Amino acid sequence: MRTQVVTGRKRLALIGANGMLASMVIKMTPPDFEILAFDLPDFDITDREQVLRMMQAARPQVIVNCAAYTNVDGCESQEELATRVNGDGPGYLAEAARGCGATLVHVSTDYVFDGRKQTPYTEEDPPNPLSAYGRSKLRGEEAILASGLERFFILRTSWLYGPGGKNFVETIARLASERDELRIVADQVGTPTCTEDLAKAIFNLLHLAEVAEKDTRPAPYGIYHFSSAGHCSWHQFSLEILAQLRQAGIPIRAQRVVPLLTREYPLPAIRPHYSVFAKEKYQQATGAPIPPWQESLGRYLSVYHRQ
């Protein structure tokens, strides 16, 4: 465990602290939090006894779980490992949070849905994952719900990108500088989400809970959907990435972006064809604006893109 001491009183245990989302959580942490960072090799989310022991020793007021096995296709051949990390681990964190009186924030995914719906998914829609990754993430949600923990937020998000990790934006930017033509799937629709926006959403929900408890009224804990506003296909996302790179004066070799059907680009894991989220619950609870995905992309490219 390493500690980033920040002036303040609330201890936040950040699980998976070396990952892409966690690095942004650290960057966006309000000044009244103290970050306690946990990750491999010193902290193993699949080791129940270690999780309970280390959380009991740290006594955090908040636990934010950014740890996950996110290799979607790798999960198909390593579902047991994915289930331990994405399924059992969150349950251990919920048990630990209950033991030390902490609020748990757990990040989940659009892959818990099958993508057969044609209107945005709400928090009340029944999950039906099609992939090992989706099944493992749903198992994590179910473990939290079954734990008896009352103070939790399960925050589902989609198409996440940000600095400090492998992401679609950087992959497209790199390929566009190397190739004349890109071939991108056009029949999967969702919403890109920048880690900066998601980190802000995490703290907005934590602030909401704190205010509610100070007012001695029930805090609106539970499941929330969060992504940027709007939606697009991967093909449309790619076109916007290239357009914004050109606008920024960054040389692009690619002249064509050819749309593909999913069946033309087979992968081990089945992706949901439609995974747009309804976000009214989050907006009504927090009152916070949600930026359009194009705006967030522009901010990412201007601030974080590795040129």
Provide the annotated active-site residues. Answer: 133
Write 48-54 long-range contacts (CB < 8 A, 24+): 48/88, 48/92, 48/95, 51/89, 51/92, 51/93, 51/95, 51/96, 52/92, 52/95, 52/96, 52/99, 54/1
| Other beta carbons less than 10 A from residue 108's beta carbon | 24
Q: What is the rounded distance in angstroms from the CA atom of residue 109 to the CA atom of residue 116? A: 16
As a whole number of Å, the CA-based R_g of the chain is 19
Q: Locate 80 and state its tokens.
A: 């047991």
